[in-house]
């Protein structure tokens, strides 16, 4: 489990809080995650980084649009409530639960 960010990402702290909350609510309180700073375009392409913050679950980004190219940029997440700089809690929790069920 990784939280990927760019240097000085303004949403890094909020994303870490949301990820921890989603893990706890999904019954995965014992699961830890690391934060990784994506430094350049080559690294972004290598890890499939489509913007900061990105959460990788089992190496995959559950929110990545299939046509979005990798790149060093800020990222926006959309849901029924609008637009945010962090993933929405309920879909993140569901993605974590699905991943845990397939372990």
Range of the domain at 80: 2-101
Which residues of the chain register pLDDT less than 50?
Answer: none
Residue 83 main-chain phi, psi, to 5 deg? -120, 140
3-state secondary structure of 47: helix
Residue 65: predicted pLDDT: 84
Contacts 24+ apart (CB under 8 A), 58-67: 58/1, 58/99, 62/91, 62/92, 62/95, 63/87, 63/91, 63/95
**How many independent structural domains does the chain possess?**
1
pLDDT at residue 99 in the model: 93
């Amino acid at each position: 489990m990784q939280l990927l960010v760019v240097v000085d990402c303004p949403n890094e702290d909020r994303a870490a809080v949301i990820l921890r909350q989603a893990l706890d609510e999904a019954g995965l309180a014992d699961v830890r995650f690391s934060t990784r700073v994506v430094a350049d375009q080559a690294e972004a392409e290598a890890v499939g980084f489509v913007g900061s913050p990105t959460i990788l679950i089992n190496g995959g980004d559950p929110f990545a649009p299939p046509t979005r190219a990798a790149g060093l940029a800020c990222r926006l997440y959309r849901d029924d409530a609008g637009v945010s700089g962090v993933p929405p809690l309920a879909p993140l929790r569901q993605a974590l639960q699905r991943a845990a069920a397939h372990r």
